[in-house]
Amino acid sequence: VFENERKESTNMSYVIGLRAVEHLLSLNNIKIRKLYVEYHPVNKRILSLINEVRKRNIDISEANRGRLTQICGVSNHQGIVAVIKRKSFIDESSLRTFIETRLSKKSASPIFILILDGIQDPHNLGACLRTANACGVDVVITSKRDSVSLNPTVSKVSSGGSESLLFSSVKNIEKVLEWLSDYGVVLIGTSDSVEDNLFDSDLCRPLAFVMGSEDKGLRKSTKNRCDEIVSLPMSGTVSSLNVSVATGICLYEALRQRTSTKRKS
């Protein structure tokens, strides 16, 4: 039964961990299809969450820890697994339609995109998605090649941020970068070997940050598609930052510039 449920639909997603599931309950646009909890929960927060789930007439099943691991595919579930229908995952065709529509809204703030090319660690992806959600990123785009997919660990690390964030995994990042550039979206990559400073860049334009893999950074073909390559200024002895930290700095600098501009206007 559990394996059948795991294979039921590619649109189904498993959200694990107490904080992430609590966050789900606060979202109006995400419906929990089913909740699995470990036998005889004693954690007061889990008991409170179960009571709230029952009020909403959501199906609840108890299972032992091994069964929960079998259901969601990972062991760090903290004794709680929520099954949701993933509405925020869009294919490449829908991605293009969304961006065209978003760019046509002249009254809206400039489009804000995060592109992650080759992120392999689910903890890094989850951290990037959590920050992207907090900073108001419109959509996150990842490559299917050499990249971790959305999974329960990613969801747990993102603390529920991934479920309400538009997300698209594409076959060819370079192709997407090409048509984004044609649409007038400024593509900004990062490198520790350039003099141009992130803080000197105008981030109030329609833009997409392009971040590379943990070990190699941006691929040459991806870097060549970027309009600008900027560095993150450092004063200490380290020469580079974790990709999720670097992503967070970039996103928050864009948010700072955009909110400062709104206040001045």
The domain segmentation of the chain, as residue ranges, is 2-85, 92-264
Beta bridge partners of 61: 36
pLDDT (tens digit, 9 = 90+) per residue, 99-119? 999 999 877 789 999 999 999
Question: Tell me: the pLDDT tens digits for 155-210?
Answer: 888 877 787 789 999 999 999 999 999 999 999 999 888 889 999 999 999 999 99
Please list the alpha-helical segments (H only) found in 75-121. 92-104
Go through 18-52 and write b for each residue having 16 or more CB atoms within 10 A of its CB, e for each that does not.
bebbbbbbeeeebebebbbbbeeeeeeebeebbee
How far the first Cα of the chain sits from its last, in Å, is: 58
* Residues facing residue 148 across a β-bridge: none
Measured distance CA(24)–CA(15) in Å, rounded = 9
Q: What is the mean pLDDT of residues 233-246?
A: 89
Fold of the CATH domain 92-264? Alpha/beta knot (3.40.1280)
pLDDT at 188: 98
Alpha-carbon distance 186 to 194, whole Å?
Answer: 18
Q: What average pLDDT score do residues 54-82 get?
A: 89
Tokens of residue 124, six digits: 């890094």
Q: In the structure encoding, which two tokens stand for residue 189, read together? A: 């990559």
Q: Which fold has domain 2-85?
A: 60s Ribosomal Protein L30; Chain: A; (3.30.1330)
